[in-house]
Structure 1
Amino acid sequence: MAAISDKNTAGSNPKNRLSAAASSGINIFFILYSALCVIPLLLLLSVSFSDEKSVLTHGYRFIPEKFNLAAYAFLYKDIGQIAYSYGISITVTVVGTALSMLIIALYAYPISRSQFPHARFFTFFVFFTMLFSGGLVPWYLVYVQMLNLKDTLWALIMPLLVSSFWVLIVRTFFKETIPAAVLESAKIDGAGELRIFIRIVLPLSMPVLATVALFQTLTYWNDWFLSLVFITNDHNISVQYLLYKMLANIQYLSSNPTAAAEIARAGGMFNFPSETVRMALVVVGIGPIVFAYPFFQKYFVRGLTVGAVKG
C-alpha cells in the first residue's frame, strides 16, 4: 500500500507534469521526425513504380508521372535466385537471432549476480573484446581453416552470434532492474538458478531482450559482407549480397555502353531500367524486415517490474 501511495503521490505532483505547450512541442517534433523517416521510403517506392524515361527527364517525384512495372519485371527475370536468397536470409536471420539471444542471455545472467565469484573476470573478458581484436586475417582463418565453415550457412551465422556491447547492456539490465528481493524469495522457496533464470528473469526481461533481438535481426538481415567473404558461389548467398551484386552489375553496364551492347547482341536486355531498378532493389531488400517492428514494439513500452516488489 505504501508503494502504491507513493506512486500516486508522484503521479499527481504538478512538478512532474508537462505544460500544454511543451507537450504539443514534443508531439510536433516527433511527428516531423517520423515524417523525415517515412518520406524517403515513399519517394523510393514511387520511383520504383515510375517509367524510366520520365525519371531521367523530370527527376524523382512522389507521384509517378507515368506508372510502369519495368523495374520489377526486370527483377522477375531472376526470381528463382532472389527467392532462394530470400530463404537463405530468412533462415540465417531466424536461427542466428534465436541462438544469439540464448548465448547473450546465458552469458549476461551469471556476470550480473554478485554471488558469482568470477563475475568481474568474465565481465572484463567480454569488455576487452570491444577494445581489441585479432584482425581480419586471423578472423578469416579461424572460420575457414580451423572451423571449416566456408560455403556453409554457419559462416553467415556464427560471426555475428555474440555482441559484447549487447552482453553488457543485458547484464546491466539484469543487475540494476530486476529486484534482488524477487530472486532471493524464489531461492528461499527452493528454486535453482536455472529455474530462476527461465521462470523469473527471462519473463521480466522481455523488453530488453526484444530490443536486443530486434537489433540482432537487423544485423543479420542487412549483412552482405559475410557472403562476400565466405561464400564462393551463388548457392548460399544472402539476399542483400545478391542485390548488391545486381546493383554493381547495373552500374557497370550503365557506365560501359560497349559491354551493354555486347549483352544486347547476345540476346540480353539493353534498355534496362537502371534508375528505377535501383529503387526496386531497395524495396525488395527492406520489405520483409519492416514487418518485424510491430512484433517487437509492444515490448518497448511495457513496464518491467511494476508491482514486482510490494512496499
Structure 2
Amino acid sequence: MSAEIEKVPHVSNPKNRLPKLATFGIHSMFIIYSLLCVIPLILVIMVSISDETAIVKHGYSFWPETFSLEAYKFLFKDATSIVRSYGVSITVTLIGTITSMIIIALYAYPISRKDFPHAKFFTFLVFFTMLFNGGLVPWYLVYVQMLDLKNTMMALIVPLLVAAFFVLITRTFFQTTIPQAILESANIDGAGEMTIFFKIVLPLSLPVLATVALFQTLTYWNDWFLSLVFITKEANISIQYLMYKTMLNIQYLANNSTAAAAIRAAGGEFKFPSESVRMAMVIVGIGPIIFAYPFFQKYFVKGLTVGAVKG
C-alpha cells in the first residue's frame, strides 16, 4: 500500500475527565464521611479504657484522663460465659450465612430463568412475605411447637435463613449479568441444570453472593432477639444477648438503691464502671465482625467494575 497512514497521537477525551476542583470535592466528601464513621469508634474505645470517675467528672474524651481497664475486668469476671457466647455467635453466623447463601441462590436462580413457567408465581410469593406476615405469636408457635427448636442453636439460624429482599436482588443480578447465551450453550453441550448452576452461574455471581453474605453475616452476628425469645438456657445464648442482659443488670443496680444497700450489707463493694462498661460491651460485641469486611471487599470492587465496563 503506497499511501501513508497518518499517525494521530492518542488524546484522551476531556469530557471523561473531571475538573480538579470536582475531584478534590469528591475526595474531600469521602474523607469527611470516613472520618465521621471512624471517629465515633475511636471515642468508644477511648471511653472504654477510661476511669469511671474521670468520665463522670470530665465527660467523654478522645484521650483518657486516667487510663483504666476496670470496665473489661468487670466484663471478664465471668470469662467462661463470654467465651461460650462467642462460640455460639460464631457458629451460628458461619452456619447461618453459608446455608442462607445457598438457599437464596437456589431460590433466585429458577425465578430468574425466562423458560421457567412458574417464575412469576414464585416471585410474587417471596415478594408477598415482604409485605405481610402471620404475626409474632403464630411465628413463635411454629418454631416452638411445630418445629420444636426451643433452646437449640437451630432456633438462632432458621428464622433468618431467607430474606425476601436478598432473593429479589440475587434474581435481578442473575437476569441482568449472566448472559443467556452461556446457559443455552452449556445446555446444548449436555450440562444439566445443577452443573450449570454450580459451575457457571455461581462463579459468575461472586459479587452479589458476597454482598448477600456480608449482610447476612451482620444480621446473624447482631441478632439478640432470637436468643431472648427462644433460649432459656445460658449455654446457647449469643454474645449480643449476653451483653444486652449485662447492660440491663447494670441499669438495674444503678437505679435501685435497695439492691445497692443489699450488696453493701453483704460485704460487697457497690462500685462498678457503668459508663465505661457500656462502651467496653460495644467493643466486645463488634470486635470480631469488623474483620469480616476485608474478605468481601474485592468482590464489591469487582461488582462495581463489572457494571462499569458494560457498554
What TM-score, normalized by structure 2, do the two folds share?
0.93
> Contact 1:93/1:220 (CA < 8 Å) preserved in 2?
yes
Q: How does 1:114-153 map to 2 (within 5 A)?
A: 114-153=114-153
1:35 partner amino acid: L
The corresponding residue for 2:288 is 288
Give the deviation of 1:186 after TM superposition. 1.7
> Contact 1:204/1:305 (CA < 8 Å) preserved in 2?
no
The corresponding residue for 1:76 is 76
1:259 partner amino acid: A
Distance 2:186 2:305 in 1: 15
2:28 equivalent to 1:16: no
Give the deviation of 1:13 after TM superposition. 3.8
Give the deviation of 1:12 after TM superposition. 4.7
Distance 1:46 1:277 in 2: 12
> Contact 1:96/1:157 (CA < 8 Å) preserved in 2?
yes
Q: How does 1:140-179 map to 2 (within 5 A)?
A: 140-179=140-179
> Contact 1:183/1:196 (CA < 8 Å) preserved in 2?
yes
Q: How does 1:227-266 map to 2 (within 5 A)?
A: 227-266=227-266
Of the structure 1 ranges 28-37 and 183-192, higher mean CA displacement relative to structure 2 is found in 183-192
1:251 partner amino acid: Q
Of the structure 1 ranges 86-95 and 228-237, higher mean CA displacement relative to structure 2 is found in 228-237
Of the structure 1 ranges 295-304 and 50-59, higher mean CA displacement relative to structure 2 is found in 295-304
The corresponding residue for 1:58 is 58
Distance 1:257 1:238 in 2: 30
Count matched residues: 300
Give the deviation of 1:17 after TM superposition. 2.6
* Superposed CA RMSD: 2.0
Of the structure 1 ranges 31-40 and 185-194, higher mean CA displacement relative to structure 2 is found in 185-194
Give the deviation of 1:263 after TM superposition. 2.3
Distance 2:310 2:74 in 1: 63
> Contact 1:205/1:304 (CA < 8 Å) preserved in 2?
no
Distance 2:141 2:13 in 1: 61
The Cα offsets for residues 211-252 of structure 1, whole Å up to 9 and x where unpaired, read as 110000000000000000001121211000000000010011
2:296 partner amino acid: F
Give the deviation of 1:200 after TM superposition. 1.0
The Cα offsets for residues 27-54 of structure 1, whole Å up to 9 and x where unpaired, read as 1101100100110000010000001100
The corresponding residue for 1:90 is 90
2:106 equivalent to 1:106: yes
2:117 partner amino acid: P
Of the structure 1 ranges 295-304 and 222-231, higher mean CA displacement relative to structure 2 is found in 295-304
Q: Hey, which bits of structure 1, 4+ residues long, moved more than 6 A?
A: none
Q: Which runs of 5+ in 2 are unaligned?
A: 1-10
Distance 1:191 1:198 in 2: 11
The corresponding residue for 2:180 is 180
Q: How does 1:270-289 map to 2 (within 5 A)?
A: 270-289=270-289
Structure 1 residue matching 2:235: 3-state secondary structure: coil
2:235 partner amino acid: H
- The sequence identity of aligned pairs, in percent, is 72
> Contact 2:208/2:303 (CA < 8 Å) preserved in 1?
no
Q: How does 1:26-37 map to 2 (within 5 A)?
A: 26-37=26-37
2:32 equivalent to 1:46: no
1:34 partner amino acid: S
Distance 1:186 1:303 in 2: 24
Structure 1 residue matching 2:199: 3-state secondary structure: helix
The Cα offsets for residues 179-218 of structure 1, whole Å up to 9 and x where unpaired, read as 1122222222221111111111111110110011000000
The Cα offsets for residues 106-129 of structure 1, whole Å up to 9 and x where unpaired, read as 000000000111111100110111
Give the deviation of 1:303 after TM superposition. 4.8
Structure 2 residue matching 1:301: 3-state secondary structure: helix
Structure 2 residue matching 1:77: 3-state secondary structure: helix
Give the deviation of 1:103 after TM superposition. 0.2
Structure 2 residue matching 1:151: 3-state secondary structure: coil
